[in-house]
Amino acid sequence: MLKGIPKILSPELLKVLCEMGHSDRIVLADGNFPAESIGKDSIVIRMDGHGTCELLDAILQLFPLDTYVDTPVSLMQVMPGDPVETPIWDSYRAIVEKYDPRGQKAIGGIERFAFYEEARKAYAVIATGESALYANIILQKGVVK
């Protein structure tokens, strides 16, 4: 155990976060996301018993968001015509605002199938047990200053 490290961050996840460099991306995937197939060329970390909000909050305590891009946080957009509500996005906004001075301006959206393509390029995919729909999020790492 270490002092000052959120307990939800496993040794495996801490190692991955430390290995990542500037502009590398990590996906926090909800329980419906095809993490193993999308992440077959990256590192997949299983965290099935945890939700995306608690992980996002813990990760952003240690993980700087990229300041060289407008939106280092990307959400999977709802498909047109899909009558799904996304209240979890409000939670994401509040968490990002705690750690990045750009607040919600640091958050962008990516069309669902384009999100899958971007996720395939990620350094790692965290497979969570999040039950909210459209709760997938990509974080792009910045520089530790």
pLDDT value at residue 145? 86
Neighbours of 25 (CB within 10 A): 20
- pLDDT tens, residue by residue, 121-143: 999 999 999 999 999 999 999 99
Q: How is residue 76 written in tokens?
A: 């999977």
| 66: annotated active-site residue | yes
DSSP code of 55? Answer: H
Q: Is this model's pTM higher than 0.75 or not? A: yes
Q: Which CATH number fits domain 12-140: 3.30.460.10, 3.40.50.720, 3.40.1650.10, 3.40.50.12780?
A: 3.40.1650.10
73 contacts 27 by C-beta, under 8 angstroms: no
Q: How is residue 40 written in tokens?
A: 């077959």
Residue 128 CA: distances (Å) to CA of 30, 83, 136: 5, 23, 10
Catalytic residue from among 22, 48, 68, 82: 22
The Cβ-side half-sphere exposure at 110, using a 13 Å CA radius, reads: 20
Per-domain residue ranges of the chain: 12-140
Q: DSSP letters along 71-117, please? A: -SEEEEPPPTT-----THHHHHHHHHHHH-TTGGGGEEEE-HHHHHH
| 41: annotated active-site residue | no
pLDDT value at residue 51? 97
| 116: annotated active-site residue | yes
Catalytic residue from among 30, 66, 123, 134: 66
Residue type present at position 138: I
pLDDT value at residue 57? 98
